[in-house]
Structure 1
Amino acid sequence: MTREQMSPQHWRTLTVSVYLPTTLALVGFGAVTPLIAITAQDLGASLAQSALVVSLLGIGALVGALPAGIIADRLGEQRALVASLIVDAAAMAVAAFAPNFVVLGIAVFVLGVSEAVVTIARQSFVTEFVPLTHRARALSTLGGVFRIGSFIGPLAGAAVVTLGGLRAAYWLAIATSLAAAIISAWLPDVEREAPPGAAPVHMAAILRAHAMTFLTLGVGAAALTLVRASRDALLPLWATSIGLDAAQTSLVFAASSLVDLTLFYLGGSMMDRLGRRAVAVPAMLIMGTCFGLLPLAATGIGLGAVALGLGLGNGISAGVVMTLGSDASPAVGRTQFLAGWRLTTGIGGALGPVMISALAAVASLSAAALAVAAIGWLGAAWLWHWASPPGDSPASRDASA
């Protein structure tokens, strides 16, 4: 199927079997995520302990990256998705009934692991199912769906919490995860690119064989992930430092997110037509420049302008990290490779907030912003070298085949 053109039937299949359940699952996930710290405090945790419980979500996603690749390879994308979504629902139930914050932390860690399986299985399915000429558009749409679900989730969570209390958000997440599991059970089988009778491969062998890819293209993608993650970590701190209240800060984020949500398909279309670096490099330059201008933002209007620029860079680059990983993935051992790719890029995302916190403690928020800006600019140059050039787009390769 990867050499065929993308038909309306293919898009309908993706919409019903991939995009719809992803949106459902992320609505529930997004409803719960902002409430984890509050739930931990409600169970007697201190502020530091609550922060640790929240961090277990990201730790679980990193720890679960490599096992997720093995699970997706052994079970196949469909069964791995359904199983992980059921585990999601079970972990949400444990969190809802948690008698103390330790049990809550275990449930949150399991959520992180299961989300890693969901992400890798969906990426692997889209990579196999979608023709190469439309891969970036399909994966950018998946990235946009992540954003849409994460945007709607907190709003839905606020509504159900108002009506039914704090634990109601977990019941919403249980319902959406189970609904997503039922829909995902209808995922079609895909034709594998691997030759029939190919010998099974092991995770360690795939990681060794593609170590140079992780250390070159993967480092560039990790830098992009770091810059993206820094937006959510740095903007609230800067808003507080210039005297904005919670409502004004939320308005700034809403404006940035609105720009973010409108551009994902445009970015994917540009990548399919012009090559991956035609989007990855400008996105990094835009976000790096915005962080470089952040120390000059002394008012809400100035911060809003920076936030809009970050929304632009983040929006057009939706799906670019997944697309770069899918392009580099081998036909044999694809899920194991994507697991290593997720681990590599996930480390970049985890390092961003840690670096900002450290620099803010020993220097200043301005220094942290300039450090992120430097990573954005250097990362752009790195990706210019290692990502596919404009003349090497999937469309041009397909046309010349």
Structure 2
Amino acid sequence: MSNTSVSPGAQAPAAFSLRSIAVVAFGPSLLFGIGEGAILPIIPLTARDLGASIPMAAMIIALVGIGSLLNNIPASAITMRFGERWAMVVAGLWSAVGMGLCLWTSQLALLALGCLMVGMSQAVYNLARQSYMSEVVPQHYRARALSALGGVMRIGMFAGPFLAAGAVHLFGLPAAYVIGLIAVLAAAALGAKIPDLQAPPLPAGQAEPARTTVLSTLRDHRRVFLTLGLAVVMVSAVRASRQAVIPLWADHLALAPSVASLIYGMSGGIDMLVFYPAGKVMDHFGRRWVAVPSMLIMGLAMLLMPLTAGATTLLLVSMAIGFGNGIGSGMIMTLGADHSPRHGRPHFLGVWRLMSDIGSSAGPALLSLLAGGLSLGAGIAVTGVISLTAAAALGHWIPRRAVKVSAG
């Protein structure tokens, strides 16, 4: 596809098809996911090889998430300044530089810096792709498009470790970073082919909107951030915690590592199968019909997990968690897109993603605190209660009808 400008909403609703943007919209996400998935399991092993203790290795891999958290607001400024297309390209190149540091360094400090850079690029890329899709996809297709976007990224994150495993087996640990480098550079190259967005013309007699800032965005949309935004924090906390509760409870039950891995993998497989049907339900019947059941299912499954006593019951509960999480794929992005204004959208989405990342960081931390102070079962149960609370908040604050936002 050529680099011509396109106007958001220029296509008639009947003429729009996800296939028309599939390669340029979803291809970079798949490649970016593969790149990150390839290196994440290898980072702590590299850190250990360079002399890091186990807590230090854990801290180094945590820098990926910290980099994303700290860069959400700067990412919105980058996207506003350079546009969605070039922000995605820059994110891919910055990630490649970070992976290059991880590949060629023999010092822990540079490995840590590389991980931080990968996280920073993640924030820019995720915000830019969400902003782009929010503009170019008609609202009646938005949930399907953003659910597919989230699902494709998950597929990449799922496939990346397998590709890296083969490369590492043949060539050693550095080969995983080579896989990651190739993938993110290919994502940047494909992202460069995405058509530029062009702001729609102002109606006759309407003045140019005032320049937005992060502070003005917080002021103008504070009600959304303090209501639905807080629900998003809870959703993200539960989602991040789910990645820890399955292997931790499997270990608590003294299951073999291979059995725990199989259970975790099957939960992830269910997760990846249901994202598109869920998006279709959101588009046809409303966001509530997926958002609320997603959190209810995950919450009930979390409450049941401490009652499991073997591999079979843990598998059933884990698959329920995977199903609940899977149908919610793209939910946070869709709600953010629904409530974001056309003018200054990246600033709004930057704050939205910051709230989501705060939840993702707080969820596992709370689980760890409760598991250490009370018990692992109590920590998982509290996470289930948070999920049910999120379901109630989403049910109350998600509008019954589609949101219509102004250009300002």
* TM-score class, shorter: over 0.9
> Does the residue aligned with 2:342 lie in a helix, a strand or coil?
coil
Cα-to-partner distance string for 1:9-44 (whole Å, 9 max, x where unaligned): 652342111211111121121010111111111111
Greater shift after overlay, 366-375 or 2-11? Answer: 2-11
**Contact map agreement 2:291 2:331 (CA 8 A) in 1:** yes
* Aligned match of 1:204: 215
C-alpha deviation, 1:239, in angstroms: 0.4
1:12 aligns with 2:19: yes
**Contact map agreement 1:3 1:132 (CA 8 A) in 2:** no
Matched letter for residue 249 of structure 2? W
* Aligned match of 1:92: 99
1:79 aligns with 2:86: yes
* Aligned match of 1:115: 122
Q: Distance in 2 between matches of 1:273 and 1:377?
A: 24
C-alpha deviation, 1:182, in angstroms: 0.8
**Contact map agreement 2:32 2:153 (CA 8 A) in 1:** no
What is the aligned counterpart of 1:290 among 278, 285, 301?
A: 301
Cα-to-partner distance string for 1:123-153 (whole Å, 9 max, x where unaligned): 0000000000000000000010111001101
**Contact map agreement 1:53 1:105 (CA 8 A) in 2:** yes
* Aligned match of 1:278: 289
1:171 aligns with 2:178: yes
> Does the residue aligned with 1:187 lie in a helix, a strand or coil?
coil
User: 1:10-89 residue pairs with structure 2 within 5 A?
Assistant: 10-89=17-96
Cα-to-partner distance string for 1:195-220 (whole Å, 9 max, x where unaligned): 48433211221122212211110111
C-alpha deviation, 1:353, in angstroms: 0.6
* Aligned match of 2:239: 228
Q: Distance in 1 between matches of 2:152 and 2:15?
A: 19
Identity %: 40
**Contact map agreement 1:329 1:338 (CA 8 A) in 2:** yes
Q: Distance in 1 between matches of 2:201 and 2:357?
A: 27
Q: Distance in 1 between matches of 2:398 and 2:260?
A: 35
C-alpha deviation, 1:393, in angstroms: 4.2
Count of residue pairs the alignment pairs up: 393
1:267 aligns with 2:314: no
Q: Distance in 2 between matches of 1:41 and 1:181?
A: 30
C-alpha deviation, 1:4, in angstroms: 4.6
* Aligned match of 1:373: 384
1:317 aligns with 2:328: yes
Q: Structure 1 residues 43 and 192, CA, compared in 2 at 3 Å: closer, same or farther?
A: same
Give TM-score scaled by structure 1 length: 0.95
Greater shift after overlay, 211-220 or 311-320? Answer: 211-220
* Aligned match of 2:319: 308
Gaps of 5+ in 1: none
Q: Distance in 2 between matches of 1:256 and 1:81?
A: 30
